[in-house]
Structure 1
């Protein structure tokens, strides 16, 4: 059995960034295990014009290690694009370019092992380590050991119960949209249910097809408007490490209330995308004979079925008035987001992980899960702590800081200097003199 200081399970951007930072820590042995054969990222939504919603500084390393050789700037230099990127004067890379950067970084990290599926994790009290059982792509069974685990398995596409009864030929999730583009083009009418950035980008694509004579399109969302992401600078202070630290100190019921109120930080739509949608709707006015387009917000889809003709029929409720109606379409695109997926490989140690009043893992400020008494190892989480650290937890721009926090905790020293002041706003109440 091979021993390591840290085993990170899953290789999305967060654990990839962890491996990149760990490479710069002398004496630290970190291994990343990923079941997929190569690094891919949001391929089903890789529209040609899709842009990142964070700037290039929110890469794997820069916000805590700006001189790191796996920064986005080093990638541009290596690809001989640094000068043209500067002249471009748009510091928000395309989604396609960002994925290429991530693949470039993964290829330079020998600690990342693809085609390694973790089957089971057990705690062994004698040697005081976690035993990680994995299967390599060729079928070889392997066993690793580490006192520290980092879970970065990502989230899974979520389809709500109201839509789950539709057959596959009538339903797709945004995560597979481009893979099923031929079905979209052949449909007579396509309906997007849900908004957010993914739903809006699908609508841009559908409207572009519609203007060229393609299918009818509809957009239904239960939000009270087609709401923009709130990316004003002072509001963005609530996505900083300073606010994350403050959020973690609050009582559980307060954190839950705030997470619900702050949905526009991560479920809204970029203003550029909203502008694209409006421009396409305006262009439609200059054409004749196009298939219909329908946009409605404040709509709850309560159930879905297939009619005698084989079309999808959505039972809807207008939230303002309570009026009910049916919406018939050929294909439904679920822009209904993602949910954390419980890792079955943790089943043997699940009883050791402590939970809060709503059954969620209790996560410390350093992103480690509180474990049962007597367990000497630690399990850290990445992008599974919105309930404990706030709505910035899924943001790419918090990844480097979180990873630095984890590595500082693992090494027991300040391997990376964390920002002391990341916001101008003071979030706590002033202390009163006695």
Structure 2
């Protein structure tokens, strides 16, 4: 590879532009690293199907793209407010948890100032060259053109994707769909005779509450089932929140692999429960609607798993199993909303380097403590992962509050020196001996 070609080699290419790679791009501004980030979407849009009015982030506003490692950055949420003449309004708002719609608008504001972000461009393949660099093939939808780039490092930040169990895939459509599509489908389902929500997390609760608010205008039967033991709140105590810290991530990473699996299986309520406020809003609305012993057209039931969905006479027949009673029953519903969560996945573009990547026995990437994918050949150029390391780094992997820390860790390695200071001790408690 001649000198001119070497000068055209980028320092880093980002695959996907979600909140984490957006933060990486923003924090790279204080370095000399040459970067490009690609996303197949036309613009930044964070879970557009769940941007319900009245919903908030479940983390404080400081979990923006930059603040937790660079509070003086021009890309901070507070500077966003300043630039939009909203500082006093936010000051009187007196809340740490900001509207979800405003977080999305903030991210779009950050994205609009970063020319290295290329939307409408899908990374199709990544290969390693003989010199050890990465050849990245990208298809740009607007130009209808396929382009090739070379880079020293790649940061994969494709995040997670909606998960629907295989047994329900064949009935997905306009009236059976994942919660991530709720806002795009809502207007078309409100005239149904019955709507059933499946799931136990925040998304299921927010959708149920939204439908409960609209029920008097449309008079549908509203059901909510979860296989969980109850409609439980997410852990939100001060010391419990310390699990979403670099300290706990460091502790968890050093646990044996089998112990990690065991620990993760018991931590669901650290990040999968319902906020206290949403539970209270639902209960208070149910209470008010039953004044005078009025009977509601509402059914809530825990410990009940959706076993099957069958299309039947223009309806959907649901088979449900109550675990403690060990009994099944059937229910007909016009609409079924599956709030069945999101799962990490291996993007197809990694197929070209599959042979140089280390995989564990479960088919997952082996990710080192510094967020590098472990490769089976030595080299100076690396693949990093954002929000794909739950199995190695623990519950903090998808947490917005740890995004800036992870990006600082990655950037310090890209730059070969400390650009952003990170701290060893961040919490009051000690994890482990």
Task: Give the structure-1-normalised TM-score.
Answer: 0.95
**1:408 & 1:114 partners in 2: Cα distance?**
26
| Residue number in structure 1 paired with 2:364 | 360
Task: Answer yes or no: is 1:395 the counterpart of 2:399.
Answer: yes
**1:388 & 1:341 partners in 2: Cα distance?**
14
| Match runs of 1:114-263 below 5 Å | 114-125=119-130, 127-137=131-141, 138-263=143-268
**2:65 & 2:218 partners in 1: Cα distance?**
42
Task: Answer yes or no: is 1:377 the counterpart of 2:381.
Answer: yes
Task: Give the structure-2-normalised TM-score.
Answer: 0.95
Unaligned runs of 5+ in 1: 430-434
| Residue number in structure 2 paired with 1:24 | 30
Q: Deviations over 1:201-229 (max 9, x none)?
A: 00101111123443111000011011101
| Residue number in structure 1 paired with 2:349 | 345
**2:165 & 2:219 partners in 1: Cα distance?**
28
**1:291 & 1:418 partners in 2: Cα distance?**
53
The number of residues matched between the two structures is: 426
Task: Answer yes or no: is 1:6 the counterpart of 2:12.
Answer: yes
SS of residue in 1 equivalent to 2:243: helix
| Match runs of 1:284-323 below 5 Å | 284-286=289-291, 292-307=297-312, 309-323=313-327
**2:378 & 2:152 partners in 1: Cα distance?**
13
**2:77 & 2:138 partners in 1: Cα distance?**
32
State the Cα distance separating 1:287 from its structure 2 match: 7.7
| Residue number in structure 2 paired with 1:432 | none
**1:277 & 1:97 partners in 2: Cα distance?**
23
SS of residue in 1 equivalent to 2:242: helix
| Residue number in structure 1 paired with 2:420 | 416
SS of residue in 2 equivalent to 1:339: strand
Unaligned runs of 5+ in 2: none
State the Cα distance separating 1:165 from its structure 2 match: 2.9
CA contact (8 A) 1:128 1:377 kept: yes
